[in-house]
Amino acid sequence: METASGSATAVASRDLGSQRGRSLVPERLQSREHERQLEVERRKQKRQNQEVEEEKSDFFAAAFSRERLAVEELLEGGESVEQLEEAAARLQGLQKLLNDSVLFLAAYDLRQGQEVLARLQEALAKRRQELQPKKRFAFKTRRKDAASATKVDSAPGAPAAEGILASPPPLKEEEGFDSSWICGFSNLQSQVLEKRDEELHQRDVLLTQLINCTIKLYGNPNTLRLTKARGCTLLCGPVSTSVFLENCSDCVLAVACQQLRVHTTKDTRIFLQVTSRAIVEDCTGIQFAPYTWSYPGIDKDFEGSGLDRSKNNWSDVDDFNWLARDVASPNWSILPEEERRIQ
């Protein structure tokens, strides 16, 4: 009897286990089906997002090309100040289009757009210069005389005098700059250098080969370029278009602009107000913080520059040497708040 009872118990146990096994099969199938549906939905959403980005990219390419051609036609045929002002307005619209598209544009397309804008801005500055009154030639002569008066200050090996340089040495023409329409300083060491609004307004500023200098630019330049500088502090009012920084080290900058490009530069702090995304390339040790410099009249200069003061992308930086989007670039960083001292 005990044997029969044990056999019955075993059979009942097997039947219960079999029932449990059969009940688990549908649960596994349901779970697998649910996971499959989720994966299908994820792929569908990814495909839709990709299609949206492609549509946005196509719209950007068409709109950018159309506006670029319109600006080029105005610059090529512009024989009046009014036409150049229209070109400048449309160029600002082109800059805004690029700024609004940075989130979905590929790094290559963004770089190409920035290069087109830089070329058009330089062409605009050149056309403005060509329409200036001929009296500008008298300025060239005065500048030559001033250069002779400061020849000792800029001579190689000569000790640099402390204080503000009254008349800067002559500037050599660089790529993208018309030598008759630039101002700035070059080949100086351990000096405090200043320029005011009447010297800077919508001019192209070139600062090159400076060592341990402090440069203060009170006004609204059109473009600004700092090259081959070491240990310098540059404080500048709002720049209407682009700021270029290249071959510099151990510098501190405070700049406000539409576009910032930094090349082959290291160990430099930048206090920045920018309406597009800053670009760094072949750089190391670059630190960014928001623009904080101020001086009497800066509000008026901002109004004249056309910059949107409420829009500041100082911490949105594209490193063209670091394309991994999910890993931060080691070449630039945010300057800690406790270290945000311009001087």
243's tokens: 């700021």
Higher-pLDDT residue of 134, 153: 134
Q: Say whether both 37 and 99 belong to one domain.
A: yes
Question: How much is the pLDDT for 89?
Answer: 78
Helix or strand or coil: residue 89? Answer: helix
Number of domains forming the structure of the chain = 2
CATH number at residue 191: 2.160.20.70
Report how far residue 76's alpha carbon sits from residue 291's, in angstroms, rounded to the nearest whole number. 36
In this predicted structure, the answer to whether residue 61 has a pLDDT above a threshold of 70 is yes
Q: Say whether both 212 and 318 belong to one domain.
A: yes
Q: Say whether both 115 and 232 belong to one domain.
A: no
| Highest-scoring range by mean pLDDT, 130-134, 263-267, 305-309 | 263-267
In this predicted structure, the answer to whether residue 92 has a pLDDT above a threshold of 80 is no
Question: How much is the pLDDT for 18?
Answer: 56
Q: Residues 149-193: pLDDT tens digits?
A: 333 234 333 333 333 343 344 444 444 444 445 789 999 999 999
What amino acid is encoded at 22 in this protein?
R
This prediction has a pTM of: 0.57
* Alpha carbons within 13 A on the beta-carbon side of 124: 31
The CA angle 164-191-212, to the nearest 5 degrees, is 155
Question: How much is the pLDDT for 297?
Answer: 93
CA R_g for the chain = 31
pLDDT band at 8 (very low <50, low <70, confident <90, very high): low
Q: Residues 230-263: pLDDT tens digits?
A: 999 999 999 988 899 999 999 999 999 988 999 9
Q: Are 254 and 237 in contact (CB under 8 A)?
A: no
In this predicted structure, the answer to whether residue 141 has a pLDDT above a threshold of 50 is no
Cβ within 8 Å of residue 184, ≥6 positions away: 168, 171, 195, 205, 206, 207, 208
The answer to whether residue 110 is domain-embedded is: yes
Handedness of CA 174, 260, 72, 130 (dihedral sign): negative
Q: Say whether both 116 and 208 belong to one domain.
A: no
Positions of E strands within the chain: 182-189, 192-195, 204-211, 214-217, 223-230, 233-238, 242-246, 252-257, 259-263, 266-274, 278-281, 284-290, 317-319, 332-334
The answer to whether residue 19 is domain-embedded is: no
Question: How much is the pLDDT for 342?
Answer: 79
The CA angle 143-247-160, to the nearest 5 degrees, is 50
Question: How much is the pLDDT for 105?
Answer: 77
The answer to whether residue 2 is domain-embedded is: no
pLDDT band at 147 (very low <50, low <70, confident <90, very high): very low
Residue after which a domain boundary falls, among 131, 165, 197: 131
The residue count for the chain: 343
DSSP H helices, 155-282, are 197-200
The answer to whether residue 177 is domain-embedded is: no
Q: Residues 204-236: pLDDT tens digits?
A: 899 999 999 999 999 999 899 999 999 999 999
Only one residue has tokens 């770089």, namely 111
User: Can you say how many angstroms the Cα of residue 42 is from the centroid of all Cα atoms in its chain?
Assistant: 34
Domain containing 67: what range? 29-131
The answer to whether residue 153 is domain-embedded is: no
pLDDT band at 64 (very low <50, low <70, confident <90, very high): confident
The CA angle 162-268-335, to the nearest 5 degrees, is 120
